[in-house]
Amino acid sequence: MTEFGKPLRPTITPIPGLVLWDLTVHGDSRGWFKENWQREKMVAAGVPDFGPVQNNVSFNDAVGTTRGIHAEPWDKWVSVATGRVFGVWVDLREGPTFGTRFTAELDPSRAIFVPRGVGNGYQTLEPDTAYTYLVNEHWSPEATYSFLNLADESAAIEWPIPLDRAEISDKDLRHPRLADVAPVAPRKILVTGADGQLGRALRAEFGDAPHIEYTTRAQLDLASPEVVTARRWREYDAIINAAAYTAVDLAETPEGRRAAWTVNVTGVSHLARIAHENRLALIHVSSDYVFDGSSADPYREDDPLDPLGVYGQTKAAADAIVSSVDRHYILRTSWVIGDGRNFVRTMSGLAERGVDPRVVDDQLGRLTFTDDLARGIRHLLDTGAPFGVYNLTGSGQPASWCDVARRVFALTGHDPQRVGAVSTDEYFASAKGLVAPRPRRSVLDLAKIIATGFEPADWDAALGGYLRDAQSPAPDGGQPAL
């Protein structure tokens, strides 16, 4: 019998993410009423804001009708409209809880949130039973399910009505035992810009797991409106956007300005739309160039933006767009060094060739190595850190580009005094073509990301390891922009 007046409250189960909920049902001699799904109240109480897009109803007129056990590729909110059912849930996802079982009865006063990949089966205990389920993906014949046999010995389900007396479909009787079930892989993660310095570091960090996908501009043009429908985005959990236009000086030209806005803003706006419509996490890499560099104190995540040049303006615009997505991480970084053409490799090459460079000494910041940046991105995703903006650079004492160049010379066995100091104004006075203004101070406050349990690597210590691991120096490059 339905219990009236219970408060909305959860019961945690041994299956991660599977939560049984008591619902408030109002009733009297005329019948009853309940709010089967009330987003504001339920999300505040702890129900995932899973974004349902379809409502389905199943009706069984006979006691003992048994369905399942099916693991669908979407989340479900299951409740009963009339009657009573016995439910069984088995974790069929990859991981240490694979095979974990939970059972409970559902009536109009109890509902359950079933995460994607958790197998669910139901047996009616009263005639004329109807149960409803909200799902956050439209049904499709292309959807891939995983199944478990209702009589699996390892699950050892004690069905109230024995299966030999139950109404079961032939298909459900033929489902595999647990030992033969293909575990459900996690939702996919897409890494854009996979051929860049950060993209290569992300590939090294995440590896070749089947649910991790890497794409380049040639494979997926983010600036094209068609990207919004290019994939079944509901099958993804996150997009890590490592694609960016970083030619800061070229961005000051008419052609470069168009290219910078196309890649850094138009492309990001398409990703934000995809993330918003499909409830994905969008991880976006930003830059110290969103600030003007005039602050004597390290920049915090909530400091007002004031970009100096076109590149910085596009990154600031992208930050504003990404911040409108509910599930977002914006990582502001500086002076990025990785596998490819960059300042450190340039200085190493000059040292080896006997060239004595003049390097600016009035721009201050910290190097950020792409492996550390990739590690930080994974940390935020794996730990479920609060969404928002995070600064992520190398730690340690800030230095000038001239200081960094001298450290490169010293660490590669060359006299650091071969590196001459010059002011930014002097250096760019002789530059050919348009030159973008640079922030003079790019020191970012790291307290927020450290509070999540992540420890950024000391840039100076990381520099030594980078130089030891580096292959032959790359051709001359410029100061990094990302």
d(CA 65, CA 241): 48
Give the start-end residues of each E strand in 393-461.
Answer: 399-400, 420-422
The first and second tokens of residue 46, run together, are 């702890």
Whether a cis peptide bond, with omega within 30° of 0, leads into 69 is yes
Nearest to 231 by CA among 261, 274, 186: 274
d(CA 355, CA 425): 22
Nearest to 269 by CA among 332, 314, 238: 314
d(CA 70, CA 83): 22
Which residues are within 8 A (CB) of 111 and not within 5 positions of it... i.e. 6 or more apart?
A: 20, 21, 23, 36, 77, 78, 79, 80
The CA angle 292-451-400, to the nearest 5 degrees, is: 35
Q: How far is CA 254 from CA 10, 244, 250, 258, 259, in A?
A: 58, 18, 9, 6, 9
d(CA 340, CA 158): 60
- Taking residue 262's Cβ as centre, other Cβ atoms within 10 Å add up to 15
Give the start-end residues of each E strand in 75-194.
Answer: 76-82, 85-91, 101-106, 110-114, 118-124, 129-135, 146-147, 188-192
Counts of helices then strands in the chain (DSSP H, E): 12, 25
The CA angle 448-452-458, to the nearest 5 degrees, is: 70
DSSP per-residue letters across 209-245: -TTEEE--TTT--TTSGGGGGSS-GGGEEEEEE----
70 annotated active-site: yes
133 annotated active-site: yes
Query: Among the options 133, 236, 299, 311, which is catalytic?
Result: 133
Residues with a known catalytic role: 70, 133
